[in-house]
Amino acid sequence: MRAPNNESRNGGDARFTSGAPRPPRWAQTLLRWWGDPTTQEEVEGDLLELYAYWVQTVGERRARWRYGLSALKLLRPLACRKRSTVHSTPFPLSPDMIRNYLKIAFRNLVKNKTYSLINIGGLAVGMAVAMLIGLWVYDELSFDKSFANYDRIAQVMQHQTFNGTTSSSEVVPIPMRAALHNEYGTNFSHIALSSWATEHILAAGPNKFMKMGSFVDPDLPEMLSLNMLSGTRSALNDPTTILLSASVAKALFGETDPINKLVRFDNKQTVKVAGVYEDFAKNTTFNENSFLLPWQFWINTQAWVKRSEENWSNNSFKLFVQLAPNADLDRVSDQIKRIKATHDKDLAKFDPRVFLYPMSRWHLHSEWENGVPVRGRIQFVWLFGIIGVFVLLLACINFMNLSTARSEKRAKEVGIRKAVGSMRSQLISQFFSESLLVVFIALVVSLGLVQLMLPWFNAIADKKMVILWADPLFWALTFGFSLLTGLLAGSYPAFYLSAFQPIKVLKGMASSTRVGFGRLAATPRRVLVVVQFAVSVTLIIGTVVVFRQIQHAKSRPTGYDRSGLLGIAMNTPELYGHYEAIRNELRQTGAVLDMAESSSPTTDVWANDASFDWKGKDPDLLGDFGTVAVTHDFAKTVGWQFKQGRNFSRDFSTDSLSVVVNESAVKFMGLKQPLGEILKWNGKKYTIVGVIKDMVMSSPFEPVKQTVFLLDYQWANIVIVKLNPQLSMSEALERIEPIFRKYNPGSPFDYKFASDEYDRKFRAEERIGQLASVFAILAIFISCLGLFGLASYMAEQRTKEIGVRKVLGASVFNLWQLLSKDFIVLVVIAVLIASPTAYYVMNSWLQQYAYRSDLSWWIFALSGMGALAVTMLTVSYQSIRAALMNPVKSLRSE
């Protein structure tokens, strides 16, 4: 309390006259040394007034005691708790401050619903796309890593040189296995031969299925560390056994234990189930194998395989090795380099060079060019990884643009906060908390979107991906990724807004020009809009180019008619030896125009041989041809288009030593008059009786290979059927199925349409196109979302200006032009940047195809016009809406 007197405090104790009682000097000295310096004068003056009052009421002695005790209580150690509560600045990241930040952030989100939805929606879509692409990239990079010996497994491959071009092949001759084991066996833990995965019939009781599987050495299950659910990995040492995948075992035997049960294979032999293994993961090289049969079983049942056991020139088999613990892959690869040329001197002309290719590179680096791995899935990993980063960047750009654009709305808030003592660090924390709140909400929404989109995304990408809910690494990456996104998205607004000068803001100078940033304040927003649309336009151009390349290849003349053409594998002995009977019965149904047989499907060439010779052949030129055996009616069935000569005919018994060649073969041999020329092959002389237009049987993106067609009923193993176009597909199949069941009762009626098999060749490019188109649409959506928000904000900020202009006679078109032209200019700049970038990237991509489309100017013009049209629609809505507003309301708004 204060003493009731009117004496002034002048110099603390100036009112005390000489002889008047004075407070103890020691107490005054302590108070001046250890008291709070910010309140020292006020406290000392109050104590002096109290001392004078105490002297009058209780006497000098008691007054001195009271003064000393009061001084001690006010020393800094005893007064710190009270001072910290009243005067100290709270720590910016204290729990109370964080709660306050989040409360204000939530209120701002609710207050500005439109902008909040744009921010959260754009970020959620961007994060969902980034997550989907991240899952896809993870799946690609983890390919084959489920195998325990992943880092020690390699495939034996070889380079061979044909006519000046080096080709790289993953197939080798059978005797190479024994040579590696005998000469370099200490370098390997396991060596295993394998066939290609092919379709075969598995039957158990009434259940019959066509399943993919391989014939493998007993070492392969151990090398791959098969997860056996029953039985053992070593079961394939018995050539009469079979290992089934869990899914096939269940399909054949249901819930019954399949061990020691009998399975009929291709309606020829019976094998015993010796083990069941867990299905291979989708992202493995061996995922097609639903069963494994012993290598010796294949040798015992296939004469051509038996003949190949000592043949170094028959490259038809796969060979895998597992390196010994101390073996170095490069060193071993160098040691075995000349093994093939050493064992067969006749092959030296091909310059065969054997090498080991590690499992880690099989999937991502699978395309070779002149002996060097140049492409593969790795290019898609980089492509989609970059797209994912850019799509997320677009979403972050939206957030930054809208936050900085709306800064003027919060300029006074910043000014008041600074005027009442808020530090800049607190303001930065406030704006970061708003950013992180938006990102957290967007993260929750994006996880929901990913879960909904995964089935559709898996269908397009041909994957079996799932969100790794139980994986701590997934959550660590997700939250780390989200935190980074929040900091990235909120950094510019936080530092930009917190730098506003309070005096200028509170004086009403709230525009970015007046708070110290000048015209450069809008420059970052313009740059970011340009970046957004440059990325979007680049994706649009890329999508158009990909689909155009696919269409260019699909419209390529194929040299035969695929419509209504189907192939049926002759996978049981019952189909052999009944060619004429089956053909006649099929034709009598009215559902079939004709039937033939072939050693290769119409959409592939399964055999190649480099030992052909002819008159005038360059001695240094290798006679490398694709070889296809056909029956007499093949030409009519597939619709060969003859350039010269004739078809095989039953009227000429000599046609068993005749061949038909394609145009590429004539060019390759350099023949001006090919008819009647002699081709030497396998010790026989064949006469060329016909030349057909090139048939696109292999890759539609590559030149047609020189191919020889010869008449051989024994070699043919595929039935080719031409359906009657007058009947529906289902009706035609219903009519022919009973005939195949009649002659092939042990096999399900399994067929493949040539058109489907041909379209399958475009599947990889189509996936790229579909994914790129989805990402392009999302990029445009996110960009337009931000553009919509910016246009809405600009229209809101210029409400009074629009009202004044309308009063002075401005038309709706004038006002639309005023509000839209800046955005259109930015998009035009983005198109000018995107076009050369897209040209460079897509031109490089097209170079991998020998048969490719060109990059026409209209692709870039159309993409640019599309982006401009979308921009104008987005901006025009807000511009016209603002222009049509009643000017009276516009002028009253302020």
| pLDDT above 50: residue 2 | no
Of the pLDDT bands very low, low, confident and very high (cuts 50, 70, 90), residue 514 is very low
Q: What are phi and psi of 542, to 5 degrees?
A: -60, -40
| pLDDT above 90: residue 520 | no
Mean pLDDT, rounded, for 860-887: 80
Whether the CB-CB separation of 401 and 528 falls below 8 Å is answered with yes
Residue count of the chain? 894
Q: What is the pLDDT of residue 147?
A: 92
Whole-angstrom Cα distance, residue 691 to residue 610?
A: 20
**Average of per-residue pLDDT values in the chain:** 83
Of the pLDDT bands very low, low, confident and very high (cuts 50, 70, 90), residue 517 is very low
Q: What is the pLDDT of residue 358?
A: 95
- Residue 520 has a CB neighbour count (10 Å cut-off) of 9
Q: Smallest Cα–Cα separation from 163: which of 584, 705, 601?
A: 705
Report in angstroms the alpha-carbon separations of 646 from 248, 502, 722.
Answer: 48, 94, 21
Helix (H) or strand (E) holding 190: strand 188-194
Q: What is the pLDDT of residue 190?
A: 95
Q: Who contacts 141 (Cβ-Cβ below 8 Å, separation ≥6)?
A: 364, 381
Instruction: Identify the three-state secondary structure at position 836.
Output: helix
For residue 323, the cross-strand partners are 188
| pLDDT above 70: residue 834 | yes
pLDDT, tens digit, 9 for 90 and up, residues 125-157: 888 888 888 888 889 999 999 999 999 999 999
Q: Smallest Cα–Cα separation from 194: which of 319, 55, 63?
A: 319
For residue 161, the cross-strand partners are 166
Mean pLDDT, rounded, for 439-448: 89
Q: What are phi and psi of 482, to 5 degrees?
A: -70, -40
Angle, CA 714 vertex, CA 713 and CA 718 arms, to 5°: 70
Q: What is the pLDDT of residue 85?
A: 42
Q: Who contacts 291 (Cβ-Cβ below 8 Å, separation ≥6)?
A: 200, 202, 211, 213, 242, 243, 244, 245, 248
Q: What is the pLDDT of residue 339?
A: 92
- Residue 830 has a CB neighbour count (10 Å cut-off) of 25
CB burial class (10 A; 0-12, 13-18, 19+) of residue 472?
Answer: exposed
Whether the CB-CB separation of 193 and 319 falls below 8 Å is answered with yes
Domain positions in the chain: 25-86, 150-362, 380-551+763-892, 565-759
Core vs surface per residue 687-707: b (16+ CB within 10 A) or e: ebbbbbbbbbbbebbeebbbb
pLDDT, tens digit, 9 for 90 and up, residues 167-195: 888 999 999 999 999 999 999 999 999 99
Q: What is the pLDDT of residue 270?
A: 93
Q: What are phi and psi of 317, to 5 degrees?
A: -130, 150
pLDDT, tens digit, 9 for 90 and up, residues 590-634: 999 999 999 999 999 988 888 899 998 888 788 889 999 999 999
Place of tokens 């005027």: 419
DSSP string for 341-357:
HHH-GGGGGG--EEEEE
Of the pLDDT bands very low, low, confident and very high (cuts 50, 70, 90), residue 313 is confident
Whole-angstrom Cα distance, residue 247 to residue 271?
A: 18
Q: What is the pLDDT of residue 224?
A: 94
Report in angstroms the alpha-carbon separations of 9 from 2, 5, 19, 21.
Answer: 12, 11, 18, 16
Report in angstroms the alpha-carbon separations of 814 from 338, 793, 883.
Answer: 80, 19, 9
Angle, CA 836 vertex, CA 835 and CA 840 arms, to 5°: 120
Would the CA dihedral through 539, 540, 542, 547 be positive or negative? positive
Q: Who contacts 589 (Cβ-Cβ below 8 Å, separation ≥6)?
A: 735, 736, 739
Whole-angstrom Cα distance, residue 390 to residue 543?
A: 16
pLDDT, tens digit, 9 for 90 and up, residues 28-72: 777 777 776 666 677 777 778 888 888 888 888 888 888 888 877
pLDDT, tens digit, 9 for 90 and up, residues 781-816: 888 877 777 777 676 667 777 777 777 777 777 877
Whole-angstrom Cα distance, residue 582 to residue 743?
A: 8
pLDDT, tens digit, 9 for 90 and up, residues 763-789: 888 888 888 888 888 888 888 877 777
Mean pLDDT, rounded, for 424-449: 82
CB burial class (10 A; 0-12, 13-18, 19+) of residue 743?
Answer: middle
Radius of gyration of the chain (CA): 41
Q: What are phi and psi of 171, to 5 degrees?
A: -110, 145
pLDDT, tens digit, 9 for 90 and up, residues 218-255: 999 999 999 999 999 999 999 999 999 999 999 999 99
Q: Smallest Cα–Cα separation from 347: which of 549, 624, 160?
A: 160
Q: Which amino acid is at 126?
A: G
Is the backbone of residue 773 left (phi > 0), alpha (psi -120 to 50) or beta?
alpha
Mean pLDDT, rounded, for 370-393: 83
| pLDDT above 80: residue 10 | no
- Residue 379 has a CB neighbour count (10 Å cut-off) of 17
| pLDDT above 60: residue 15 | no
Q: Please give the share of the chain, as a percent, with pLDDT higher than 70.
A: 87
Q: Smallest Cα–Cα separation from 157: which of 147, 149, 167?
A: 167
Q: What are phi and psi of 211, to 5 degrees?
A: -130, 150
Helix (H) or strand (E) holding 524: helix 523-554
pLDDT, tens digit, 9 for 90 and up, residues 678-725: 999 988 999 999 999 999 998 888 889 999 999 999 888 899 999 999
Report in angstroms the alpha-carbon separations of 699 from 602, 604, 629, 705.
Answer: 12, 8, 20, 10
